[in-house]
Structure 1
Amino acid sequence: MSRQRRPAALVLLAVAALAAALSACGASHERVDAASDAAKVFEQAVAGGDRAQMCAALAPQTRSEVEDSDKKAGAEAISEEDLVAGGPVRRVDVWGRQARAVLASDTLFLSQFPAGWKILAAGCRPQPGQPYQCSVKGG
C-alpha cells in the first residue's frame, strides 16, 4: 500500500469503527417503535378502563406485585390502582432491553420479554433529586 493511501485507509477504518460504536449505543427504530406501541396499547387500555388488557400488558413481576399487594387476581387487582390515562406518547428512550416512555402526564418504564415489551412501572412521577415515584411497579 502506498504512503498516500495508508492515511486514507486509516481514516476510513477510524470512521467505520466510530460508526459501529455509535450504532451499538443507540436503539434501532424498530425497538423504539415496538416499545412505543406497547406504551400506547397500555394507555389505551387505561383510558378505556380495559382492566384485562392493562393486566396483560404488565411484566410478570409487576403483575405479581399488584396481585400480592391487593390480594386479588390480575384484572381485579389492577382496578384497585389509581391509574389515569397519561395521554399521547411524547418520547421513548430505549437502552438495551429497558425503555422509558414519557407521555403527556405520565411516565412508563418497560422491559423487553420474549412476548414483547411489557410495563414494569406505570403512574410514575419524577421526584427532584430522587427516583421516580410509581403507583404501579414490580418488586
Structure 2
Amino acid sequence: MGIRATVVVCLALVATALITTGCASAEGTSVTSTAERFLSAAGEGRGGQACLLLAPEAARSLDDCEKQIVSVGLRAGVVRGVDVWGDEARVWVDGDTLFLHRFPDGWRVRAAGCEPRPDQSHTGQPYECEVNT
C-alpha cells in the first residue's frame, strides 16, 4: 500500500471515529437532559412530572408515585459522568447514580437513588436503589 492509500485509510478511520463519538455524545446529552429534568422535578416536589420520566415498571413499583418519588429525597446535582450502552445508560450525579433505558418515545429512568453496595458478592447487584424496576 502506498503513502497516498495509507493516508486515505487513516482519514477514513478518523472520520468514522469522529462520527461515532458525535453519536455517543448526542446520546449522552439526551440521557443527561432526562436525568436532570427527573431529579429537578423530584427534588422540587413536582412528583407528577418526575413520574412521567420514570420507566413504566419503575413507576408501578411505587404505591403512589407522585407522593413517594418526592419523599425519596432525590436532588438535582452536577452530572459527573454518563455511560451509554445501546439502550441502557448510567448517570453519575453528586450523591446519586441513575440508570436509564431508551424507549421508543425517549429515555426514561429505570432506577434512581442508587448507591454502590460495598459487598455485592452475595447479591450480584452492585447498586442498592431507592426507586427500581
Tell me the TM-score normalized by structure 2. Answer: 0.78
Whether 2:71 is the aligned partner of 1:75: answer no
Question: How far apart are residue 41 of structure 1 and its match?
Answer: 0.3
Whether 2:93 is the aligned partner of 1:110: answer no
1:41-75 C-alpha deviation (Å, 9 max, x unpaired):
01111220111111111011111222xxxxx3431
> What secondary structure sits across from 2:16 in the alignment?
helix
Task: Indicate if the aligned counterparts of 1:45 and 1:51 stay in contact, CA closer than 8 A.
Answer: yes
User: C-alpha separation between the residues in 1 aligned to 2:41 and 2:91?
Assistant: 16
Question: How far apart are residue 128 of structure 1 and its match?
Answer: 3.2
Aligned to 2:90: 100
Which runs of no fewer than 5 residues in structure 2 stay unpaired?
Answer: 121-125
Which runs of no fewer than 5 residues in structure 1 stay unpaired?
Answer: 67-71
Aligned to 1:49: 45
Aligned to 1:121: 111
> What secondary structure sits across from 2:112 in the alignment?
strand
Aligned to 2:123: none
Structure with the greater alpha carbon radius of gyration? 1
Change (3 A) 1:132 1:23: farther
Question: How far apart are residue 77 of structure 1 and its match?
Answer: 4.2
Matches within 5 A, 1:5-84: 6=2, 8-10=4-6, 12-13=8-9, 16-17=12-13, 20=16, 24=20, 27-66=23-62, 72-79=63-70, 81-84=71-74
User: C-alpha separation between the residues in 2 aligned to 1:25 and 1:58?
Assistant: 27
User: C-alpha separation between the residues in 1 aligned to 2:74 and 2:13?
Assistant: 46
Aligned to 1:135: 130
Aligned to 1:69: none
